[in-house]
Each structure stands twice: as C-alpha cells, then as structure tokens.
Amino acid sequence: MSSIVPHLINGVRVQGTGRTADVYNPSTGAVTRQVALADGATLQQAIDAARAAFPAWRNTPPAKRAQVMFRFKQLLEQNEAEISRLISEEHGKTLEDAAGELKRGIENVEFACGAPELLKGDYSRNVGPHIDAWTDLQPVGVVAGITPFNFPAMVPLWMYPLAIVCGNCFILKPSERDPSSTLYIAELLIEAGLPKGVMSVVHGDKEAVDGLIESPHVKALSFVGSTPIAEYIYSEGTRRGKRVQALGGAKNHAVLMPDADLDNAVGALMGAAYGSCGERCMALSVAVCVGDEVADALVARLVPQVRALKVGAGTACGLDMGPLVTGAARDKVKGYIDAGVAQGASLVVDGRDLVVAGHENGFFVGGTLFDRVTAQMSIYTDEIFGPVLCIVRVGSLEEAMQLINDHEYGNGTCIFTRDGEAARLFCDEIEVGMVGVNVPLPVPVSYHSFGGWKRSLFGDLHAYGPDGVRFYTRKKAITQRWPRRASHEAAQFAFPSNS
C-alpha cells in the first residue's frame, strides 16, 4: 500500500492527523492507498488560509485571474493521460470515459477564462440630474464545494474555476473514494500560478461536511450527490444564512415514439445506460416505449448488444464498461436486480454473475436489462446507479409524459422521434430541467447551466455557466452624484424620483 493521500492547504500538502479511509482499485478489489480524513482543526486551517488570501484575491484584476485559468487549461491538456489513469484506477471507469470526463471539465475552465467579460456590470448615465448608476458583481467570500465520486475531475471543475475567477477563495471537499485525481488537478492549478490559500482540498466524510456547513466564515456551498444529502446540506446551510446549490439524484427517462429511428436510439441508449457502469446522474435508466411494437423491436435489438458489452479493468483499452466503485455499490445494484425479479419484472439480460478473468475480486456487475417494468417497482422508483436499464410500456406520448412528470426526480430526459410536433410538446410540457431531442445525455455545454427540477435540485441557481456566475457573485447597485459646485438644492422630503 502506498502512502496516505494528503490534503492541500495553503499551497502545500498537509498529512493531517487521526482518521484515514481505504481507497480501492475497483478492478481488483484491493486497497491501494489511504486518504486522510480531516478533523476540525485541519478544516479550520483551510478556512483560515482562505480568509487570509481573500482580500488580495478579490482585488486582483479579473484579467489576471483569467490568466491563471489559461495556464491551468494548458496543464490539464498536457496531463490528460496521467489524470485519466488516476481516475480509472480509483473509480473504475474506462480510460476513454475518464478522458471524456476531463474534456468536459476543461470546457468549464475555458468558460472561466472569460472572467473580464463575465464580470462586467451594467452602467446607466444620468438616471437623474448629475446622477449615474451601475451594478457591480462582487465575490461572495470563502466558498466550498462538496463533490461526488462518479466524476472526480469534471464536477469539481464545474465549481472552483468559476468561483475563483469571480474573486472567491474555494475549499473543495471531494469524495474520499477516489481522491487522487482531484488532488493532482488542484496541484496543477497551484502550478498555474494561483496564490496560496485561494484554493484548498480537504478530504473527509460527514465530519468535514458538517464543519463546512457550520462555519460562519464559509458563505456559500455547492454540492452534487444523492438527494437525501442534498436536502440535508440545503436545509442546514440555508438555515445558517448560507447561499446553497445542492444537486441531487435522478431517474432519467428516454421516450421512444413509434416513428423513432430505432437503430440510432439503440446506440444512444447503450451508451447512456451502460457508459460509466451507469454511475452517472444523467444516465438513462428507463426506456419508455410508446406501444408494444416499439418495445418488442427495442428489446430484440438491445439484448445482443447488452450481452456483448466488453467489461473489464477500467485501465485496459477498448472496453465498454469497468467495475462499480466499491463492493458496497456492487452489492446494492445486485440487490435491486433481485428486487426487480421478486416484484415481477421480466429479467431479459442478467448481469449479476459476471466474472472478469484475472479480476475475480473486482466490483463487477454486467449489463442488465429488464422489460415490463411498472411504476410501482423499486427498480423504477429508485436511483440504482448501476448498469441496469428498465423498459416501461405505455400507450401514448401523453401517458409517457405523465409517468415522467409524476416521478419525484426531474434531472434529465429525452425523446426519440421524427415528429416535430411531438418533440415540441414534450419540450414544453415535461417537468424536467434538462431535455434532449434525439440526444441521450442532454448535459448542457459550459456556457449554459446544469440543473434539474423537483427533488433533483435544491436551490434557485443551476451549476456552472451563467447561473454559476450569479451564484458565486453578489450584485451591488451603486448610485452616484457629483453635482456642479454652483448648484445647491433644498432638502427633499418626498421619496426621490427622476421625474
């Protein structure tokens, strides 16, 4: 076993003292390293460093902040292979998938490079006699992000590049399950010229999360993870007067209309349902078929492709799927498959008994396909977070839309059709935050914003893009008057106006 993965505080590695957690290679099931878990004193060290760095950083010109991000982007691109390897070793996703995750994260760094334009306020001259008015976008202060295991590179890059170019200091609490790539990327940011204290990485569990929530010096919290934790962070954070955006769980549906290009839809479903072993909050886990004819044809095309999925150690090349992140995650997914069978769904392809030669102790589950799933089954209601696709049969588009609108989650959805009228109705009436038309993973590009509806998002603002700028800044309205020296006016006791 290698040494402990440390924290990064005030520009240097900090080993910390006390508790640690095991970090596994999911492909072998072996513990490869440990990660330090922060106590209150370690977390306070990061908060103090951020507070000390904030006055100078907030007054650094946005163009200079952006220059750091330009250098950071270049370093990320130069180190793509190493970052992808670290992600794959600890998460289990394939190298190709890890590289794709990093590229989407880099897009957010590119957006942050536009800080001088993004932070321009509005200006109005002569709103009254000799009076000018303008708005100023000012940083919030010390802010924090709590990120999940499934995207150890991309999701943190949703948060801190934009927060930092907006003039804030940032504390990142990444997942303790796969911390090495996140730490490596943060050190690249320091190498790019970020001043000490502006960015810290503090590993930990609930103790660290509660410390960030409870600290009066942390002014805003960003979170991506499960709905129960998102709701907890939102309620506890806002109760203390913090600004909070907390992105939660999902159950994403794909609607297949009778006129859908089925071959293209099948290819899209395969990647969206089984890519990254289904450990995506935007994974398509339910295919809603309008009519039995569509459903029968879909099953006939899916079965051979699901059975042919190439599954193995994520660090190998040419694979479709790697393992799940932990043994507990594997067992949870298998438990859902058991429940689906017990509740009467038709198990068409069973991935529970998959064994990868040479990796018999890895956390593997093969691609799994259920047909004739109903809305009462747990495999339909719950976010499984594994390589399980459920087929639901309905009689009309309206029935499909009602099914989706009735679900507690509203993260992402899509429709496969050649009918513009159906697509427009779907986009208008579906109660979901991100919608695709013949696009299986409608993840917005970096200059839009990411977020769901209903119990998939707690808070008013979505992640990254324009909403990210709004979240990480406070708007100040300034009204200024410089009257001519010879001009003197009597006191006015009525409310001022420009009439």
Q: What are the pLDDT digits (tens) for 10-22?
A: 999 999 778 999 9
Distance CA 320, CA 343 (A): 29
Mean pLDDT calculated for residue range 405-433:
97
Q: Is 346 helix (H, G, I), strand (E, B) or coil?
A: strand
pLDDT at 354: 95
Mean pLDDT calculated for residue range 390-418:
98
Percentage of the chain beyond pLDDT 90 is 93
The answer for residues whose C-beta is within 8 angstroms of residue 61's C-beta and 6 or more apart is none
Mean pLDDT calculated for residue range 354-372:
96
Topology adopted by domain 252-437? Aldehyde Dehydrogenase; Chain A, domain 2 (3.40.309)
Distance CA 253, CA 400 (A): 9
Q: Is the pLDDT of residue 455 over 70?
A: yes
Distance CA 179, CA 5 (A): 7
**Model confidence band, residue 1 (pLDDT cutoffs 50, 70, 90):** very low
Q: Across the chain, what does the average pLDDT equal?
A: 95
pTM of the model: 0.94
- Length in residues, the chain: 499
Sign of CA dihedral 336, 430, 272, 105: negative
Q: Is the pLDDT of residue 51 over 70?
A: yes
pLDDT at 485: 73
Residues tagged active-site = 281
Q: Is there a contact between 138 and 166 (Cβ–Cβ < 8 Å)?
A: no
Of 35, 50, 38, the closest CA to residue 171 belongs to 50
CA 222, chain centre distance (Å): 10
Q: Is the pLDDT of residue 267 over 80?
A: yes
Mean pLDDT calculated for residue range 278-284:
95
Distance CA 164, CA 31 (A): 34
Distance CA 97, CA 82 (A): 14
Strand partners, 24: 31
Q: What are phi and psi of 210, to 5 degrees?
A: -65, -35
- Kindly provide the b/e burial profile for residues 39-59, where b requires at least 16 CB atoms within 10 angstroms of the residue's own CB: beebbebbbebbeebbeebbe
Judged on CB neighbours under 10 Å (0-12, 13-18, 19+), 435 is middle
Q: Is the pLDDT of residue 499 over 80?
A: no
The two counts, helices (H) then strands (E), for the chain are: 16, 23
CA atoms within 13 A on the CB side of 467: 18
Of 255, 168, 186, 176, the closest CA to residue 11 belongs to 186
| Better-scored residue on pLDDT, 32 or 488 | 32
Q: Is the pLDDT of residue 254 over 70?
A: yes
Tokens (6 digits) for 113: 């490079």
Distance CA 253, CA 405 (A): 10
How are beta strands 284-290 and 252-256 bridged, if at all?
A: parallel
Q: Is the pLDDT of residue 489 over 80?
A: no
Mean pLDDT calculated for residue range 344-368:
96
pLDDT at 303: 98
Judged on CB neighbours under 10 Å (0-12, 13-18, 19+), 123 is exposed
Q: Is the pLDDT of residue 486 over 70?
A: no
CA 292, chain centre distance (Å): 35
Tokens (6 digits) for 477: 């309205």
Percentage of the chain beyond pLDDT 70 is 98
Q: Is the pLDDT of residue 310 over 70?
A: yes
CA 312, chain centre distance (Å): 25
Q: Is the pLDDT of residue 127 over 50?
A: yes
pLDDT at 463: 96
Distance CA 280, CA 291 (A): 28
pLDDT at 2: 58
Mean pLDDT calculated for residue range 83-88:
97
pLDDT at 403: 98
Q: Is there a contact between 465 and 444 (Cβ–Cβ < 8 Å)?
A: yes
CA atoms within 13 A on the CB side of 393: 14
The CATH homologous superfamily of the domain defined by 4-248+456-478 = Aldehyde Dehydrogenase; Chain A, domain 1 (3.40.605.10)
Strand partners, 245: 222
Taking residue 30's Cβ as centre, other Cβ atoms within 10 Å add up to 12
pLDDT at 488: 67
Of 379, 367, 209, 243, the closest CA to residue 302 belongs to 367
Q: Is 366 helix (H, G, I), strand (E, B) or coil?
A: coil
Q: Is there a contact between 104 and 443 (Cβ–Cβ < 8 Å)?
A: yes
Mean pLDDT calculated for residue range 164-182:
98
For the chain, domain boundaries? 4-248+456-478, 252-437
Of 432, 417, 399, 419, the closest CA to residue 265 belongs to 417
**Model confidence band, residue 393 (pLDDT cutoffs 50, 70, 90):** very high
Strand partners, 349: 369
How are beta strands 4-5 and 30-36 bridged, if at all?
A: parallel
